[in-house]
Amino acid sequence: MSNTALPSRDAIVATAQESIARGSKSFAAASKLFDRPTRERAWLLYAWCRACDDIADGQDHGHDMTGVDDGPARLAEIAAKTDAALAGEVVGDPAFDALRLFAAETALPPALAHDLIAGFALDAEGWRPRSEADLYQYCYHVAGAVGCMMAIAMGVAPSDEATLDRACDLGMAFQLANIARDIAEDARAGRCYLPQEWLDEMGLSRDMLLAPEHRAALGVLGVRLADLAAGYEASARHGTPALSFRSAWAVLAAADIYGAIARGVAALGPRAWDGRVTTSSAAKLAMIGKAYFAARRRAQAYPPSPRDRSLWTRPRNAEGGANPFR
């Protein structure tokens, strides 16, 4: 293919911007806190993540899920297009060409992209966590790996393992908060991300989660998830001194906004699933303002400190976190 046939970077970035605008108004708004180069890289990464999710679940920008009966074929398509993009090949699909650009501009370790795909494979297989360690592995695959890739988008060197660990912690916090908020919604869809060992401890089974008489027990588990999310969120904040001011501002704002979801679940206890825990636009704006001042003094507020050894740590091997559940 001649160079004249290649899609331009500007065209791919514009398509990626359209993808984030359609798929997540919150992420689109948050991306404005970044400087222009980081913002564009965030759009490119989002476009690929969004496309993979849509292909895996049979949806359009996170909406109108149709359900799929050809999961393995869909995962094979995702893997093939991703591998081509990581190899620098023009894929002809804007979202995967967005990954091609992102990988070339950031020296993205391919293992991180493969780790996210492993998360889609787990969902496609209807996998469920048996233990708390399983839960952490899942959260890494679907969110922690994205946190690492976002840090690389912000200019963190792929070799800076300590800062990537903190970025992974933020992704873990986000996913734990999501799981806590969505317990009832997931149960109605036939999904459960609560470890079986936790359910056994509370005398629950997956088909009991929506029963009113079990709300007190479910509330205990919701608080447990929220407390775990808080620990990862607190750890993530100590990675912000390694970031530029605007990137740190965005990270701290996101930590506050997602942290509010987990704190809302904990505060409501058994009533957390009477409705969807949300954060108002006014509250989000206030958090963005608060994060601005926190970012200005991040070196003092979050000084270097050893990462809490009780926190789960992402994989460290040549294949990244390739699906450990097989």
Contact of 13 with 43, CB cutoff 8 Å: yes
Contact of 284 with 278, CB cutoff 8 Å: no
Q: How many helices (H) and strands (E) does the chain have?
A: 15, 0
Question: Would you state the pLDDT for residue 317?
Answer: 55
269-277 CB contacts, 8 Å cutoff, 24+ apart:
269/219, 269/222, 269/223, 270/215, 270/216, 270/218, 270/219, 271/215, 271/219, 272/180, 272/181, 272/183, 272/219, 272/222, 273/183, 273/184, 273/185, 273/215, 273/218, 273/222, 276/181, 276/185, 277/181
Query: Given a cut of 50, is residue 64 above it in pLDDT?
Result: no
Percent of residues, the chain, with pLDDT higher than 90: 79
Between CA 102 and CA 33 the distance in angstroms is 19
Look at 56 and 156; give whichever has higher pLDDT.
Answer: 156
Query: Given a cut of 80, is residue 71 above it in pLDDT?
Result: no
Between CA 134 and CA 187 the distance in angstroms is 19
Query: Given a cut of 60, is residue 177 above it in pLDDT?
Result: yes
**Phi-psi region at 299: left, alpha or beta (left = phi > 0; alpha = psi -120 to 50):** alpha
Between CA 106 and CA 156 the distance in angstroms is 9
Mean pLDDT, the chain, whole residue set: 91
Which residues make Cβ contacts (< 8 Å) with residue 125, sequence separation at least 6?
71
CATH topology for 127-326?
A: Farnesyl Diphosphate Synthase (1.10.600)
pTM for the model stands at 0.91
Look at 60 and 172; give whichever has higher pLDDT.
Answer: 172
**Phi-psi region at 277: left, alpha or beta (left = phi > 0; alpha = psi -120 to 50):** beta
The domain ranges of the chain are 9-106, 127-326
Q: Out of 86-90, 97-101, 119-123, 165-169, which region has the weakest mean confidence (pLDDT)?
A: 119-123
Here the tokens at position 64 are: 């109108």
Question: Would you state the pLDDT for residue 28?
Answer: 82
**pLDDT per position as a tens digit, 112-164:** 999 999 999 998 888 999 999 999 999 999 999 999 999 999 999 999 999 99
- DSSP assignment, residue 325? T
Angle at 325 between CA 324 and CA 326, to 5 degrees: 100
Name the amino acid, one letter, at 216.
Answer: A
Query: Given a cut of 70, is residue 59 above it in pLDDT?
Result: no
